[in-house]
Structure 1
Amino acid sequence: MRLRTLIAATTTTLFAAAPVAAQDHSDWPENFTLGTASQGGTYFAYGSGWANFVSENLDISGGAEITGGPMQNMALVQTGDVKFGLTTMGPARASRQGNSPLAPGMKMENVCAMFPMYQTPFSVTALAASGIESIDDIPDGAKIGFGPAGSTSDTYFPKMMETLGVDFERQNGSWSDLGTQLQDGLIDVVAFAAGIPVPAISQLEVQTGVNIISFTDEERQKVTNKFPVSEFTIPKDTYQSLESGSEVVSMWNFSIANCDVPDSLVYEMTKLTMENNDRMVSIHKAAQSTIPENVDKNTALPWHPGAARWFRENGYEIPDSRIQ
């Protein structure tokens, strides 16, 4: 049974886009569901807030559904079980190529990009009391939490750790559960791949001392050479535990829609999101990167025609060959 968090459109916002009530909504669904990820992670916080924002402004009720994250969201959007979702470029590319572990051989070609979200840093966190201050410090056989099974973190981080010579016991769970397990000493490390600040880390560092571990230059080079990630610095002011920026790697996130969703609905959703960044940042700080200038970070998915129309109208180039 699905666990849904339905968010009613019951309030009024000062950030409304151009009125849409007078437009033809006859082909719009009565409501929509957005696939996010586990509670305690950025996807759920960002996605719940975005669904509420859309509901407030576009006269359509929406909700955020707890899922296994980017890989599962690709499958749910492909099949139409949910019409919208959040994903990262690595799982998106693998899913389109038929390499999803959730549906081997199924080429998920009816999933379209809507707008850029933010970069997902891959970061490692341990309790300060553990003495683990670097990846080299992680002891052989350490229990490492990699997030929900099938998530971006679970798909890529174990392979990254193997590339860096770490011997570990793999653990899965929601980010909030893994944070609790780390605090209780049931696991040694959590390998987070989520937009920053990660709610579970922010909560942890209020309750206990944590080490947010950077990659060395050599470690970052090994990882970027082998995986679809790039270098990234977690700013010092992201967490109170950081004394300086944390050097890690990251992967881009995009919102997605089933390609059969009406163009006019996707156009209005994209317009609302791209033209109200202050409101998006109030939902989650990671949305500072939810801006149209990052349209070129989509390297894996075709564009939904409704989204492409907004970007083109506002001077951003999207070739015809990239539109579904």
Structure 2
Amino acid sequence: MRNDMPKTFALLASSALLVAAASSAQAQSDRSDWPDNFTVGTASQGGTYFVYGSGWANFISEELGISGGGEVTGGPNQNLALVHTGEVALGLTTMGPAAEALAGESPLAPGVQMDNVCALFPMYETPFSITTLADSGIDSISDIPDGARIGFGPAASTSDTYFPAILETLGVDFERRNGGWSDLGGQLQDGLLDVVAFAAGIPIPAVSQLEVQTDVNIIEFTEQEQQQVLDAFPVSPFMIPASTYQTLEEDARAVSMWNFTIAGCDLPDDFVYEITKLSMENNDRLREIHRSAAFSIPENIKYNTVLPFHPGAARWYEENGYEIADDMIR
């Protein structure tokens, strides 16, 4: 019996090697249709999308061993168009622009139904907040003078799409300006703008930088103003925590819109599955990129009622006990 032991071990070892080789070959074949590289559409520098998106792209690139990175774009509307056409594989968007794009009502491509865009995972809520210089005399929305020069972010961004209409609803008369968040923050500091109307994940890097360099006011909505906006737009009530900025002494009332990462619906299922798995199982890494990622958790998939989930992403959710309705899976 003892004489047969070495042969038995040899057979077992040989079988193990064959299984490992088969598994390795299978893993390799699973990647055969994966892209060689990828790009994540973000937004302008100085905003949360750029920080979050670029950091997330680097994380995915390192973990999957595929070249990838973030790209400066005009924000959610442009990201939807770029993902739909396949010019970028992944992107970041908010639910308002996503609904418009799916319905063929994108301001960038009226009449084009962007149906090659699928949801991956929730990011965070985008609060709509207003910042002025402390010595401007503007302490509330009603204080904004007629003809005020207001920066609304990059053209066709979520902020530029919704914030002008929000302020018009609240009776504000203004001169509209566009630009990247860092640039608009600099213009505010230099007195070239009266107000910057930010729609970005908090803390907004440009606002945090402004606080270091000068005294600012972060203007909240009154209860009545908030309700007016809730009645007129696809937004939710939100409170900006006082801990977000050194300027705030107490929570500030605002409204918000949810953000999700997106992918081309034609990307390989296994590729998207691995991206979703990495993102949803490593929240600590995402929070190192930007602290707004504390909300990038699978429980928040319920806030996507617009875009179908990519089947690769849906597979991870279903394997981990999160239900998605059949009609919300591509």
Paired amino acid for 2:328: R
1:169 is matched with 175
CA–CA distance in 1 between the matches of 2:327 and 2:227?
Answer: 33
SS across alignment from 2:313: helix
Aligned equivalents of 1:92, 1:104: Cα separation in 2 = 13
Give, in angstroms, the shift of residue 21 of structure 1.
10
CA deviations 1:64-89 (Å, max 9, x no partner) are 11000000000000000111100000
1:53 corresponds in structure 2 to 59
Counterpart CA distance in 1 for 2:116 and 2:63 is 27
Paired residue type of 2:38: F
Return the offset for 1:20: 12
Query: Displacement of 1:199 after TM fit?
Result: 0.3
1:73 equivalent in structure 2: 79
Cα deviation code 1:64-121 (max 9, x no counterpart): 1100000000000000011110000000000000001100000001100000000000
CA distance in 2, matches of 1:226, 1:21: 53
Is there any run of 5+ residues in structure 1 with no aligned partner, and where? 1-18
Using the aligned pairs only, state the percent identity: 71
Aligned residues: 306
Against the structure 1 CA distance between its residues 302 and 242, is the aligned structure 2 distance closer, same or farther, given a 3 Å change threshold? same
| CA spacing shift, 1:20–1:307, aligned 2, 3 Å | farther
Is 1:263 the equivalent of 2:276?
A: no
Indicate the residue corresponding to 1:38 in structure 2.
Answer: 44
Judge conservation of contact 1:21–1:58 (CA < 8 Å) in 2.
Answer: no
In 2, distance between residues paired with 1:150 and 1:299?
22
Alpha-carbon separation, structure 2, partners of 1:299 and 1:67? 25
2:245 maps to 239
Matches for 1:164-243 after TM superposition, within 5 Å: 164-243=170-249
SS at match of 1:255: strand
Two-structure CA RMSD over aligned residues (Å): 1.2
Instruction: Name the SS of the counterpart of 2:210 in structure 1.
Output: helix
Alpha-carbon separation, structure 2, partners of 1:295 and 1:313: 14
Please give the TM-score of this superposition, normalised by the length of structure 1: 0.93
Pick the aligned partner of 2:155 from 129, 149, 156: 149
The alpha carbon displacement at 1:321 in A equals 1.2
For the pair 1:292 / 2:298, whether they are aligned, the reply is yes
The 3-state SS of whatever aligns with 1:113 is: strand
Q: 1:205-242, CA deviations, whole angstroms, 9 ceiling, x for partnerless residues?
A: 00000000000000000000010000001111100000
Query: Counterparts of 1:259 and 1:22 in 2: how far apart (Å)?
Result: 22
1:112 aligns with 2:111: no
* Larger Cα-atom Rg: 2
Q: 1:20 to 1:314 in 2, by over 3 A?
A: farther
- Equivalent residue number for residue 94 of structure 2: 88
Which residue is 2:107 aligned to? Answer: 101
Paired amino acid for 2:95: M
Question: Which runs of no fewer than 5 residues in structure 2 stay unpaired?
Answer: 1-23
